[in-house]
Structure formats: C-alpha cells, structure tokens
Structure 1
Amino acid sequence: MSLFLYRLGGLIAARRGTVVATWLLLIAIVLGASAALGDQYDDAFSVPGTQSQEGEDLLADRFGQTGTSGQLLVTATSGRITDAAPSSDVADIVEAVGKVPGVAVSNPLTADDPVISESRTATLAAIRFDDKVPSESTLTAVERAAEPPSSAVATSVGGDAYKPDAEPSRVPELIGLFISFVILAVTFGSLLAAGMPVITSLLGVLVTLSAVVVASWVTTVSSTAPTLAEMLGLAVGIDYALFILSRHRRHLAEGLDPTEAMRRAMATAGSAVVFAGATVIIALSGLAVARIPVLTVMGVAAATAVAIAVALALTLLPAIALLLGERLRPRPKRRRRQRAARQDHEHPAFSGRWVAAATRFPVLTILAVLVLLILAARPASELELALPDNSTAPPSSAARETYDDITDTFGEGYNAPLSVTADVITSANPTDTVNDLAAAIAKVPDVVDITLATPNEGGDTALIQVIPAAGQTAPSTKALVEELRALSPGWEKQLGIGDMLVTGQTAINIDVSQRLADALLPFAIIVIGLSLLLLMVVFRSIAVPLKATVGYLLSVGAALGAVVVVFQWGWLGGLGEETGPVVSFMPIFVMGVLFGLAMDYEMFLVSAMREEYVRAGDPRRAVTVGFVSSARVVTAAALIMGTVFVAFIPGGSSTIKPIAFGLAVGVFVDAFVVRMTLVPAVLVLLDRRAWWLPATLDRSIPDVDVEGAVLHRKIAFQEWESEHGDVTVLARELVAREGDVPVEITARPGEVHRLALPATNDAEALAYVLTGRSVAHSGTLVVDGLLLPEQREAVNQCSTGVRVGPGRGDFEVDKLLRTRSRVAAASRRGRRDFVERATAAVGTLGGATARGASTGAVADAASAVAAGVRLVVLHGRNGDSGVGAHQDVDALAAALAEQGATVIVTVPQEIARLSDG
C-alpha cells in the first residue's frame, strides 16, 4: 500500500494541474445533473419479509393503495359539525380536494359509520395520494383546496404525506466550519494550509449530495440520508486532509522538496487514511445486515461520502498542495520549535505531561477510566427505539400542528391507524364476514375505534382500519400489533377466513424498529470481528486489537448512554426535543461510524508507538514518543470532528439531533478518554507483551504496511545504492528456510555472482526466494529495486530460476521452447515471436552446450533471454553431488551474463567449486 501511494504521489506531482481540472469538471457534471433532476426523497420504510410489508403489497394489489396518505381535519367554529352550515362546508371542501389531480378523498359525514369526535364538533377525512412522494405543488394544491369556504369551520391538513416544512438553519453548520478552520489555523500556524482541508471537504460534500439526489431517482432514498452523508463527509473530509497535509508539512520542515515530501506523506499518512476510510465504509455498508432497503441506501450514501473524502484527500489535496509548492513550507521559527519538541520527549509541553500522568500509575488509570465509562454507559440499557412521526416535527410546523389538533380532538391513536387485511374469498357473504371480524377486533383492549370495514370490489379481501389508544411510538401500540397478530389464527379458524395481516404505516414502522433492534447484536459481532482482524493485521499483535475493541465498545456505550439521558430522560432540556424513544437506526448508525473513527485515532496514535518500538525496542519510551508525535494532530482531528457533529444539533431534525449528539459524545470519549488515556496506560502495563504475536500467526496473516515501513526500507535502499552503486540483488542476513545459515549477496548488473552454500542450506529454496516464488524466513532482500516479499509478483516477472545438475537430462530443444511459449504469450503471433527469440538465444548459448550443459537447462536459459528477464538464478537441488557432470555451470552463467542478465549461481558448495577446478 505505501509503495503504491508513493508512486501515486509522483504521478500526481507530474500532472497536478490535470488532476485539479478533472475534479472540477467532475464536480460541475454531478452538480448540473442534480440541479436538472431535483430530488425524489421518500421517507416511507419498507421491510421485505415482514407481515406488515406483505399486507402493504396486498393493499396495493387488491385496493389500489399504492401511494401515501394524508388527513383532513375539519372543526366547526360553533355548534356541531353535523349542523347545516358546517356539514355543507365539509362537502364543499371534500369536493374541492378531490378535484386535485392524483388525490382521492371521501366525505366522512356521509359514510355508513361517520368519523365524528365525541364532542360532535369535528370530523376527520382520509386523503389518498397516487404518488408515494407527492410533489410540493400537489401538497400545496390540497392545502389551498382545504381552506374553509366560510367562517363556519376551521381546517387542518396533515398525515404521512406532510413533513416538517421548515428547512433547518445552516448557520450552526457555518459556525462549526469556522471553528474547524480556527483549529486548523492553530494546528498548522498557517491560514493558507488551514483553508485547504475545509475546501476539499466542502467539495466532497457537494459531490456526495449531488450523487444522492441523482440516486433518489433510481432507488428509495430517505430525506435523512443526505444530511447524514453531509455530516459525515464534512467530518472525515477535514480529518483525512488534516492527516496528510500535516505529514506533508512536517516533511517540508525537514528540508525535503515539495514533491518528495508529498510522496512520503501519501505513503505514510495516506496509507492510514485508506485504512481508516475502508473501516468506516465497511462498517456503514454493514447496515445492510438489517435487511431494510432504505437503511441500506442510507448507509451506502454515508459510505459514499467517506469514499469521496478519501479520494479527494489522496488526489485533489496533494495536487493543490503541490501547486502551492514552497508556500506551504513552515516558517523557520516554527520549524525550530517542532524540532525541539521532537527532540525533547521527556518534557514536551502539555502532551508529554498528559502521557506521563496517564502512565505513571497505569493500573489506577485503567480502573478509573473503566469505572467512569461503565457508569456513563449504564443508561444505554434503557434505550427505547422507534421511527419518528409528525409528533416529533418542530412545534411550529404545519405537520406538527395538525398532529396536535387531531390528538386534542380525537385522540393520539387517530394519528397512527392500523390496517388489517384478511382473505374472505371463501365467504358466502363477504360484507357480513368483514363486519364480524371488525366486531371481534373492536373488543380487543386498546382498540378505540374501527373507522373502516369493507371488502374490496372483488369481494375476496377485507380491509379494516383500526384506531389504537395511543400513538405510533407508545409501547401499548406495539403491544396491540403483537396481540392482533397472536389472535389472528383463532379468528381465521372461527370465521373461516385466511391470511389475516396487520399492516399500515404504523405497523411497518414498528416492524422496522424491531428488525433494527434485532440487528444490533449481529452488527456488533461483525464490527467487533472486523476490528480484531484488521488491527491484528496492522499492528501484528494480539493485545492491541483486544484493547482497541474493548475501548470501542466503551465509547459506544457512553455515546448511547448520553443519548438516553438527554433525549429520553430530558437532561439539557432534551436539546429542544420532547422526550421519548429515539430514532430506531440511531444505535446501529452510531456504532458503524464510531467504529471507523475509533480505528482512525487508534491507527494514528498506536502506529507511531509501534514504529518507535520497532526502531528502538524500548516499549515504555515507544508509548511516550509515539504519543507526543501524534497527539497534536489527533487532538485537532477529534476537536474538528466533534465540532462538525455538534454543529448539526441546533438546526437538526428529531432524527438528526440524537445521531449528531451521540457521535459528538462518542468522538470526545473515544479520542480523549479511551485512545489518549486508557491506551497508553494499557500499553505501558503490558510492556513488551503488548507487541507479541505468535510466529505462526505472524507468517500467515498478510502484511498491509499501513505504517509505511516498506517506504522507509525503499528510501534506505535508494540511499545505499546512491552511495555504493547500482545493484541487481542486495540481500542481508537472508535465511530462505528455518535452520539455514544466513547469506549475504551483492550482485551487480550483468555480472556472475557465485554463492557457495553450506551443505545444510537448501539451494533450491534460496533460488525460489530470490526469484519471488516463495517468501524468506527472515532477512532483507531487494531485487532490481523491488522490495521482497511485498513486490514478489513484480520480481517474478523480471527473474527466473534455471536448475542445473543431475536429473535435467537432454530433451528436444524445439519442443521444449514451444512448450515454454504457451506460458510466455497468449496469442499465436506472440508465441511464434517468443520461439524465434528463444531459438536465437540457444545459438548464443552454444558454448554452454558444448561444455556439457543439458538441453533442458539451455532451453530454460534461452527462454529467460527471450522473455527479457534481468536476473537468472542457476541452482541445483539439495543433495546434488559430483563434479564431472556439472561442468556446464560456469559456461552457462558466462553466456547468460553476455546477454545482459545478472546471474547468481546458487548451488551446493561442491558444484560452486567447479569454477576453481
């Protein structure tokens, strides 16, 4: 990863202007598409595989109810609603609303069972919209049509189709961005550098929001999705840019030129950004475990915001930084302060005193943090979940006013009707059967009214509308849904009906909340398992992943506990919201986002500690040095991210507020309490055990090199080569297999390097290691400028092994070359050209054949020449003996070297000694 990003940094440096222009063109295209289309957000949740969704599909098929619903409340200003003047106005209003295209409504006063309040002063009509997401013009037309024709009545329109009509204020977000800019300015000491992360994050948010708008035309996208994507995109966009830019400026302060400084920043901090971004994306994509399409899209939208933030941080930000060039180099005075801080790790100002205090008595620190966070997480056990309805809309909105008016006039349950469907195709009298079922349902406790009981036109399906005693989020309403479903088998048998289903938007919302609650444990297991696996791969340790995962769980617990005490218990005035259940997808979303952010801080803090431990071997000093070198950036990142989340609280909806608040608390706890206090104490307590990994496991798991260790080796090799000259192979303390004697190799281009191996060493195994066919047991190895084992595939392409010695035998060369060509080239022409080149090479290797080289070895060597390999390893098999049959080695090696290849003769000592005989 680090080498790939190092090369990417060089490519961007060569085409910096093109990169900036490409991004600006892409942004313009996406913004233009979204502006031309407009959004088609839909907040209706569907839950495939549930009874409520099956019933909703049945209503659409049998009753044509494919759109959404609304409610029309008409109240007499004096007298009863059934009086002449009010009832006449009701008829006129219903007629006017029914004339709006795509809208259907019936007069509730003329129904067989009219819907009239107990005081006889109001009636409630149900409105049906053809579209699931009615246009603003349609909603406005209904509101105008519902205006009272006289002073005899007052009207109010609401229901599922109507959402809060006030756009949230952007002022808090702008303030949050300004505070982030100030933090960046203090961190960098440069206004120019401070503005770059803010600008790139804003561009990323523009691309994300535009993409979400376009996506709303092809799939169901909640109106909450863009806000969540915006919030997360701003937070991670600024942080990822901060990590890379701070490393770039640090390298500039060390005296590197801008291009090399950016390449190294990309390889180190960029690798960490890729890892951190990948963890957030995987966790957010894991929201699909709930099997709720709208939530899956919400997770994908947020994951897209993170992916775009990573892409911008790795492409556009470096391009802009390289265009600015020397203007980003820290001033000399500031550079002197930075060098002094890095040199004095014993007393480096506040960060040094913090880590010293946290690690002075590590056991006490650990116990104090654990007790504090367990107490903070305790309220999370009382978390109540529900999907929001208009009861949580802003009090000044029309949707909320209608909700409150209906509650005051009829009761809260009229805002949360349930629909019951049943198969009555076998009934001789469907109407009587429907009435009998309605009567049975009416006797169930917490059912206050049956407002509709009718079969469809085909007489095969019943529809009964049930009014519960309380609203959608009340526990009694959920209990009523469960009771109706439990009683349905008995009613089916008693009345001779089939497939009784409890559905409607209220039942769907209840099912969504239940499925989300059921998905929390599987999602947590996935996230925890992923955390353990990723951190084990990155830090090559058992203790570090376990400690990081426990810390993550404590942060999540504290975040959810804070949400409960504020939004359910009413602390801090509920931040302007009425107390009650929080939005159902809040816990799973917070868990996913915090997982990625926790890994962010873990990565930047602990990787620096591990790098120092590997370099110096002192575990306690490694904690101090790593903490001091990373604390400033991590502190700035956490403050910025927390500021962004807090900025979404004042103007946020009832859905966004608890999520933003939970993330803000979670970030603060995870960064400052867990990562910067608990982690140093645990690592100091564990000492060297913190970095222990079983040898077998160390060899079996991949090496992703997030810390840029390979880059440091690459730079060290380049410095060595600039001092000692070009080499094709450089090996130090190289052990091919366990038990072998270490070997040293310095092979120059075009030379023959003879390597005499002890009898205990496996010559063939060493040849496989040198040509990238297998991994060495230990030691360092560079072949043709490529680091092993990380670049084994590239080494494999430019090197080959040729076995010499007993057992090769003589074969028909032409036949062997044709066999080799099938591997070397895919096309017929390519195979023919390969055979021609190899045949020509056989002629040049004739001297080796004359001295006794087997045709098998010569064919292999000729194939290597034809393929243009730069390294050929001549090797025998372990145990080969005798000298008379091996006089081909020197001649073959010399002939290959004449063709420009570097040749290493790696055979047992008795064969290598032939050159002396």
Structure 2
Amino acid sequence: MATYLYRIGRWAYLNKFKMIGIWLLVLVGMGVAAATLSKPTTESFSIPGVPSVKAQNEMVEAFPEKPKFSENIAITYVVQAPAGATLTEPEYQAAINTMVDQMKQFDGVKAPESIANPFDTYGTQQNPGSGRDAVVAFNEETFGTSPAEAQADAQVTSPINADATMVQLGAAFDVEAAADVSSVAHTEMDKIADQARDSGLKVEMSGTAMPQPAMGMTSELIGVAVGAIVMILTFASLVAWGMPLITAIIGVAIGMMGVTAATFFFDLSSETPILATMIGLAVGIDYALFILSRYRHEVHRSKTRAEAAGKAVGTAGSAVVFAGATVFIALAALFIVNIPFLTAMGLAAAGTVLVAVLVALTLLPAILGVFGEKAFAGRIKSLNPPDVTKHDPARRHNGQRWINQVVRRPGAFAIGGIVLLALITIPISGLKLGLPNNGNSDPGTTERMAYDMVVDGYGPGVNNPFVVVVNGSEIADESQRLVAFNGLVDQIRGVDDVAEAVISPGDISANSETAIISVIPASASGEDATQDLVKDLRGMESNVAEQTGLTYGVTGQTAIEIDVSDKLSSALIPYLIVVVGLAFILLMIVFRSILVPLTAALGFLLSIGATFGATVAIFTNGDLGLVGNPQPLVSFLPIILIGIVFGLAMDYQVFLVSRMREAYVHGMSAKEAIIDGFSHSSRVVAAAAAIMISVFAAFMLQDMVFIKAMGFALAIAVFFDAFVVRMTVIPAVLALLGDKAWSLPKWLDKILPNVDIEGDSLNKTLAAEEAAREVAAGAKV
C-alpha cells in the first residue's frame, strides 16, 4: 500500500494544478447537485417494525383522514387568563376571537374554515357548544353511558380546561415538512401571541410548525480558530498551519453538499448534517496534520520535495487510510442496528470521513506543490518546531520527557490512569435516555412554558397521550363489538398511572371494526411511570384478546419515542461487538500483533466509560452547575458516541503505535521503540487531539441540547482517550509487555495480509530505483 500511496502523493505534488482542478470540479459538481436535489430534513425518529409504528400504520389504514403523529405540521397556542379571571369574560373572548381571525390568515394555513374559538364550537359544561353536545350524545347513544359520565368524557377531550382559565388553539399548515413553513408565517405566529399578551392574556406556543433551531457558524469558526493557533504552535510557521484548514474546509464542504443532495433520495434528520460537519471538520484537519507533519520530517531526508511528499503520503498516508477505515467502519456499521434515521446519520458522517481521507491523500500534496519551498515559510523562531534539519542541534521536547517518565515507572502510570478513568465512570449508573420534547426544552423557551402551562391547567399526561388502536374484527356482532370496546376502556382506566381513557366521536371506523382509545397518563413523558404504563398496556393485550376477541396496539408520539429508545438501547451491545470485532481484525493486520489491538480495544472501553460517566454527571445529574436544565441524554447519543469515539481512539492508536512498531521492526528494543515512536508522534497527536477537542467543544454553543451534549461528550472523550489512554496507559502497558506486545503466532502471520504501514517495501523500492539509476548513469559514463 505504501508504494501505491507514494506514487499518488508524488504525482499529485508534480501535477498540482491538475489535482486541484479535479477537486474544484468535484466541488462545483456537488454544489450543483445540492442546489438541484435538496429537500427539507425531517424531525421524525420513528423506526419501522416497532410496536408503536405498527399500531400507527393500522390506525392510518382504518382512518385515512388521520395524519401520522409526526406528519401533522401545526402550531398550538396555550392561552391563560390572568389570576382571578376566566376566559369567558368578554374582553378575553374578544382577544381570542382576534387570535382566531388572524390564525385563519396564516401564510400557508391548512383548512382555515376549521379554525374557530373553542368557546363557540365546544363550549364549557355550563355553556356547552355543539362539539361538547356531540360528544355527550355519542357516549350516551353508542355505549349507553350515563349523562354524568358522558359529561366527564366530554371534558377529557375539551380544549378548554375545567375552570375555563385556559384554552388551546391550533392551526395546521399545508406543507410536507416543518422546514417548509415560511418565515412570514413564523413572524405572524409571534405577532398574534404578542397582541394577545397586550390584552392581558398569558400566551405561549408549541408545535412542529415552530421555527427549528438553526445551526450557526460560530461553532465551526471557533473550532477553526483554535485549530489554527494549535497548528501555528505545532509547525512554528505562519504558512504551514493554513494547509490542513484549507483541505478540511474543502472536504467538509463537499461532504455537506453530498448530504444535502442525498435528501432527494433519503429522509435525513436535521441532526445529520451537524454530525457530519462535526466529525468531518475534526478528522479533516487531523489527517492533513499527520501527513503534513510527516512531510516536514521527510523533507530533511529526501532528495526532492516531490519525493518527500510521496514518502509522507506513503507512510503517514497509510496510517491515515487505516485510521480513516476504522472511523468509517464504526460509523457505517450503524446500519447493523436497522434504524433508518441512525443509518442515514452514520452513512452521511462516514461519507464525510471518506472525503476527508481522499482530500488529505491527494489535495494536500498538490497544495504543497503550489507552495514548494515556501511551505514552512514564516518561521517563528521563538517556537520549537517538531523536526529540525541535520544542521540544527537536537531538541528535547515535553513529549520525550513525558514518555521517559512513563517507561521508567510503567506500573504506576498504568494503574493510575485506569483508576482515574474508573472513578470518573461511576456516574454512568444514573444514565437515562429519552428523545427531545418540549418538556426538557430550556425553561425560557416558549415551547417549555407552553408545556408547563398544560401541566398546570390540564394535568401532566395531557402533553403525552397514548393511543390504543383496537381491532374488533373477530367479533361478528356489531353491538357486541361496541360493548367490548367500551369494556376495554373501563379496563384501561383501572390500570396504574391512567388518568383518563375515552373513545371520541370519529374514533370508530366506518365499518365499526376499529376503534381508537385516547389514554391520558397521570404522569409526564419523562417519568418512569409513563414508560411502565406502555409496558402494562401491552402486557394485558393477550388476556384481553383471549377474553374478548379484541386485539390492539399502543401508539402515540410518546409511545414511539419510548420504542425508539428501547430499540437503540438493545442495539448497543450487538453494535459494539461488530465494530470492535472488525476494528480488532484491522488493527491486527496493521500491527501484526494480538496484544496491541487488544490493549487498544480495552483502552477504548475505559475512555468510553469515563466519557459516559462525565456526561451523565454534567447533563443529567447537573453536577458542578454547568447545565441549568439537567435532563436525560438523547437516546441515540450513546450509540453514535460509541461509533465516533471508537473511530477516533483507533486514529490515535494507529498514529502513535505505528511509529513505535516502525522503530521496533528496524531493530530497537521494545522500550526504546516506545520512546522513539512516541517522541516522533506525540507532538502531532497532541496537536490533533487539541484541535478535535476545540472543534467538538465549540458545538456546545449550539441551541440544540443534543448537540451541546454531543459536543461535550466528544470533547471529553478525546481528552480521556488521547491524553490518558493512548499517551499514558497504552505506552505503560506496552512497556510492561515488552517484546510480547509485538508477537504474533506464525500460523496467523501467514494468513494476515502484509499492508506495510511502516513503509519497508517503499524504502526497498526507492533504494532499488536509486541503484538502477546509478547503474544507468555509470553505464553512460
């Protein structure tokens, strides 16, 4: 491999403008594709095949007019009267009527004729409207419910709370996705709320039509700025630092435009491009940084700069290929869990990593060709550059001082690092998972305030109702079927944590074979009791079917979220086994050792455990007071975090340990090889880790809690893995193992392909070519 990569790097250096032209064509082509094929992202996190989605599909099949829970793009106003007043007072009724009239004029509003003042259409128990009367009549005539019970059922489905101090007004939009709601409509939403507030009402908003948090450029700019400072310190040059940034930005731009174009073919969540940007920017800088650092080293040992570029791509480029391959495997392997939105996120990020690798291997040497001898110009003499010429005195840097201490007392450093990470892992016992909803939004947002108002005015479960879709086709007699439906409602009301259960008009299908039971829990969506309720309702289904002939499924947005979280949790172990197994094989091929890949994998478990512990402590437990709104971690964060962190951990493993192996196979003792390899690679690995930490940590400035937590988790994971595991624990363990670390059974050595990551075959090829040239030159003479 090293020989092929050498030729690619050398050709790119010598044919710099051709290579740059190729990438410019790719950039333009992807831009055109993104501009012509892009579609809005989706906010749906449903998983085909889970019980809640099956029940939802059955509901839509029986009731075609009902939208799926995630597809209704609407806004809801929660309106509350001032303390001591009710909304029935004339001045507040006038304000509500004004709101209704303005909502009918929304840009893109759907069925404006259906928007009405609930006090006119539904009414209160003291002053009922036609809607309330219809519910009462339906219950009395269909199920023989007593008048008092029918009135109680009518109040359950009322948009007006029992004491008429609060009402919910809604409007839907005739669009396919939330991103299609116009900015004009968003402005109108705020204007209506502000005018109602001026009349003395308390008004807050929620719903899928609300503006979604936009991803600003601040995070990327901060990450890039810190990365620039780190690279200036690393190369002690005012020119070289910009090259990794140029290539990384181009790679991310191509990757992002590819993700945008992919929305034409796949449903991608709004988090997908953010994740791809985050990982693409980090690895793009790092991969270019590794090759550029090796290039500087090779410049002093090669006859020409073109040869140095080829050697850098052949050696460090080989490490980049395998490091990128581990990240790619870890991300692309998300398809194993068979969760569409997660698969899309993983493949998008993996594609961006692939682009980053290709850019580093080809575009970077071309840019080096453009700068030529000026690649490391603007030297800052006060800094200590990593590689010196043969005329400069040797310099001792902190990496050498550190590794000497580690190798001198390997047991203490190994045990100390392991104990430290184990202690930080302890809070992982409090890990809680969930999906984003208004209940865990920041307290100052209108969505969170609307959620809290509903809890106070209607009860905590009104924000997260369940829907039980009942199939009664096995009961031939229609009257008996209706009796069975009503009996199931009574049975559900007796289940723990059920506040109310009702069947409303329009919730029995035209053929009377399917009914929808709306279930209001007594607890909020994030509470354990709500999740237990789903299990209890599903657990009694078999007995209900046996006793009555009815079958049913439990669905609703909250039920779907619970199923998604359960599915993701159950997929963690299989995913981890597959990813670690594939990467173990890959690393075994790279290092031709069993113990080195094993220590790499065990070290990853230490860093990921400490990462989860720290993230739970900060974001769920609220420790140190760094987060003002502690909440469960987003349910798909752990599996994505494992994929990304494992890939990055193997990056550092490959770059650090490959230089150690290179020294070992060239005749150094085990400990000498650790010191030599670490001395050559520690500075650039530390710089790469610092850049990644800054890039990831900067994403904590984003509005979305998921992105904040992901940015923190990735940043702290890189710190733990790079500085504690890869630069402390692993060298210490390798020093304890000695020569055994590099041993490989002979039978296995024959099976594994030799990829020559150290570049031995490349050096032999170059030596042979040089000898042939000398012979030819001698013959001419």
Q: Does 1:410 align with 2:458?
A: yes
Counterpart of 2:536 in structure 1 is 483
Displacement of 1:432: 4.9
Counterpart of 1:399 in structure 2 is 447
- Mapped contact 1:68–1:130 kept (Cα < 8 A): no
Q: Does 1:80 align with 2:86?
A: yes
Counterpart of 2:523 in structure 1 is 470
Name the amino acid aligned to 1:17: F
| Structure 2 residue matching 1:199: 3-state secondary structure | helix
Q: 2:420 aligns with which of 372, 378, 383?
A: 372
| Structure 2 residue matching 1:465: 3-state secondary structure | strand
Deviates more, 1:13-22 or 1:536-545: 13-22
Counterpart of 1:24 in structure 2 is 24
Name the amino acid aligned to 1:80: T
Q: Does 1:538 align with 2:544?
A: no
Q: Does 1:688 align with 2:739?
A: yes
Aligned partners of 2:548, 2:90: CA distance in 1, in Å? 41
Q: 1:133 aligns with which of 157, 172, 177?
A: 177
Aligned partners of 1:464, 1:282: CA distance in 2, in Å? 45
Aligned partners of 1:141, 1:423: CA distance in 2, in Å? 44
Name the amino acid aligned to 2:616: V
Aligned partners of 2:673, 2:352: CA distance in 1, in Å? 35
Q: Does 1:645 align with 2:699?
A: no
Q: Does 1:455 align with 2:508?
A: yes
Q: 1:305 aligns with which of 324, 333, 352?
A: 352
Displacement of 1:296: 0.8
Counterpart of 1:563 in structure 2 is 615
Name the amino acid aligned to 2:534: V
Displacement of 1:87: 6.0
Counterpart of 1:636 in structure 2 is 687
- Mapped contact 1:74–1:153 kept (Cα < 8 A): yes
Displacement of 1:529: 1.1
Displacement of 1:492: 3.2
Matches within 5 A, 1:472-621: 472-498=525-551, 500-576=552-628, 578-621=629-672
Note closer, same or farther for the CA distance 1:152–1:378 as it changes in structure 2 (3 Å cut).
closer
- Mapped contact 1:146–1:157 kept (Cα < 8 A): no
User: Residue deviations 1:882-914, cap 9 Å, x none?
Assistant: xxxxxxxxxxxxxxxxxxxxxxxxxxxxxxxxx
User: Residue deviations 1:815-867, cap 9 Å, x none?
Assistant: xxxxxxxxxxxxxxxxxxxxxxxxxxxxxxxxxxxxxxxxxxxxxxxxxxxxx
Displacement of 1:127: 5.4
Aligned partners of 1:57, 1:139: CA distance in 2, in Å? 31
Note closer, same or farther for the CA distance 1:153–1:632 as it changes in structure 2 (3 Å cut).
closer
Displacement of 1:647: 0.6
Gaps of 5+ in 2: 124-130, 136-153
The structure with the largest alpha-carbon Rg is 1
Deviates more, 1:666-675 or 1:412-421: 412-421
Note closer, same or farther for the CA distance 1:686–1:306 as it changes in structure 2 (3 Å cut).
same
Displacement of 1:60: 2.4
Counterpart of 2:144 in structure 1 is none
Note closer, same or farther for the CA distance 1:282–1:397 as it changes in structure 2 (3 Å cut).
same
Matches within 5 A, 1:174-185: 174-185=221-232
Displacement of 1:90: 5.5
Aligned partners of 1:267, 1:330: CA distance in 2, in Å? 24
Note closer, same or farther for the CA distance 1:153–1:492 as it changes in structure 2 (3 Å cut).
farther
Aligned partners of 2:495, 2:443: CA distance in 1, in Å? 33
Name the amino acid aligned to 1:596: G
Displacement of 1:420: 1.1
Displacement of 1:20: 1.3
Aligned partners of 1:344, 1:62: CA distance in 2, in Å? 82
Name the amino acid aligned to 2:245: V
Displacement of 1:169: 4.6
Aligned partners of 2:160, 2:96: CA distance in 1, in Å? 12
- Mapped contact 1:442–1:450 kept (Cα < 8 A): yes
Counterpart of 2:729 in structure 1 is 678
Counterpart of 2:148 in structure 1 is none
Name the amino acid aligned to 2:543: G
- Mapped contact 1:200–1:317 kept (Cα < 8 A): yes
Name the amino acid aligned to 2:168: L
Deviates more, 1:210-219 or 1:272-281: 210-219
| Structure 2 residue matching 1:669: 3-state secondary structure | helix
Aligned partners of 1:557, 1:438: CA distance in 2, in Å? 45
Displacement of 1:434: 3.7
- Mapped contact 2:299–2:308 kept (Cα < 8 A): yes
Q: Greater RCO between the two (CA within 8 Å, min separation 6)?
A: 2
Displacement of 1:608: 0.8
- Mapped contact 1:42–1:221 kept (Cα < 8 A): yes
Counterpart of 1:830 in structure 2 is none
Q: Does 1:658 align with 2:664?
A: no
Note closer, same or farther for the CA distance 1:74–1:447 as it changes in structure 2 (3 Å cut).
same
Name the amino acid aligned to 1:55: A
- Mapped contact 1:376–1:562 kept (Cα < 8 A): yes
Deviates more, 1:654-663 or 1:16-25: 16-25
- Mapped contact 1:187–1:636 kept (Cα < 8 A): yes
- Mapped contact 1:164–1:399 kept (Cα < 8 A): no
- Mapped contact 1:201–1:234 kept (Cα < 8 A): yes
Aligned partners of 1:649, 1:406: CA distance in 2, in Å? 30
Counterpart of 1:713 in structure 2 is 764
Name the amino acid aligned to 1:420: V
Displacement of 1:668: 0.7
- Mapped contact 2:52–2:563 kept (Cα < 8 A): yes
TM-score of the two chains, using structure 2 as the length reference: 0.86
Aligned residues: 724
Deviates more, 1:137-146 or 1:654-663: 137-146
| Structure 2 residue matching 1:198: 3-state secondary structure | helix
Aligned partners of 2:728, 2:393: CA distance in 1, in Å? 21
- Mapped contact 2:73–2:175 kept (Cα < 8 A): no
Gaps of 5+ in 1: 728-747, 749-917
TM-score of the two chains, using structure 1 as the length reference: 0.74
Displacement of 1:415: 1.8
Deviates more, 1:161-170 or 1:350-359: 161-170
- Mapped contact 1:281–1:303 kept (Cα < 8 A): yes
- Mapped contact 1:200–1:238 kept (Cα < 8 A): yes
Displacement of 1:336: 9.5
User: Residue deviations 1:755-802, cap 9 Å, x none?
Assistant: xxxxxxxxxxxxxxxxxxxxxxxxxxxxxxxxxxxxxxxxxxxxxxxx
Aligned partners of 1:240, 1:320: CA distance in 2, in Å? 15
Aligned partners of 2:386, 2:685: CA distance in 1, in Å? 19
Percent identity among equivalent residues?
A: 38
Aligned partners of 2:400, 2:276: CA distance in 1, in Å? 36
| Structure 1 residue matching 2:624: 3-state secondary structure | helix
User: Residue deviations 1:645-674, cap 9 Å, x none?
Assistant: 111112241111111111111111111111
Name the amino acid aligned to 2:357: V
Note closer, same or farther for the CA distance 1:493–1:691 as it changes in structure 2 (3 Å cut).
same
Displacement of 1:575: 3.1
- Mapped contact 1:164–1:393 kept (Cα < 8 A): no
| Structure 1 residue matching 2:214: 3-state secondary structure | coil
Counterpart of 2:292 in structure 1 is 245
| Structure 1 residue matching 2:520: 3-state secondary structure | strand
- Mapped contact 2:92–2:199 kept (Cα < 8 A): no
Aligned partners of 1:96, 1:455: CA distance in 2, in Å? 33
Where is the strand percentage greater, Structure 1 or Structure 2? 1
Aligned partners of 2:22, 2:309: CA distance in 1, in Å? 20
Matches within 5 A, 1:113-128: 113=154, 114-124=158-168
Name the amino acid aligned to 1:479: D
Aligned partners of 2:508, 2:243: CA distance in 1, in Å? 64
- Mapped contact 2:656–2:678 kept (Cα < 8 A): yes
| Structure 1 residue matching 2:306: 3-state secondary structure | helix
Displacement of 1:339: 3.9
Aligned partners of 1:69, 1:495: CA distance in 2, in Å? 37
Note closer, same or farther for the CA distance 1:505–1:687 as it changes in structure 2 (3 Å cut).
same
Note closer, same or farther for the CA distance 1:256–1:393 as it changes in structure 2 (3 Å cut).
farther
Deviates more, 1:598-607 or 1:435-444: 435-444
Name the amino acid aligned to 1:213: T
Aligned partners of 1:710, 1:586: CA distance in 2, in Å? 42
